[in-house]
Amino acid sequence: MLRPKIPTMPTPVGVTAPPAVVRPTAVEPTPQTMAPAPAPAAAPIVPTARPAVQITPGSVLAVVGAGTAVVLVVGTVLVSMLLATAVTAASVAVCAVVVRSLLTSPNKRRR
């Protein structure tokens, strides 16, 4: 009743074809009919008068906001890890006191 029923592999019915055999063939290179296109000429680099990155008050505000968010998130994670360590240490200390009490109490009561 509680035994699992293991399905059996069904046998193929009807005409089955043998597996196809793949034979490797050699690849023969063919001569190219068209010449390759010439490479385009490199455009000269013109120096610009403005700096590569423009600092605007909006971008400064965005960078400061992103930095503040990163500091807050990292600080939250570190404080939570420290709190978890403190809670673990306190619980281990309580367990040690309880075990010590259990081990020493039978000696005091056996008079």
The verdict on residue 100 lying in a domain is yes
Structural domain range at position 85? 79-111
DSSP H or E stretch at residue 108: helix 57-109
Structural domains counted in the chain: 1
Provide the 3-class DSSP secondary structure of residue 102: helix
The verdict on residue 37 lying in a domain is no
* pLDDT digits 0-9 by tens, 71-87: 999 999 999 999 999 99
* pLDDT digits 0-9 by tens, 9-49: 777 677 777 777 878 888 777 776 666 667 777 767 766 67
The verdict on residue 98 lying in a domain is yes
The verdict on residue 92 lying in a domain is yes
The verdict on residue 110 lying in a domain is yes
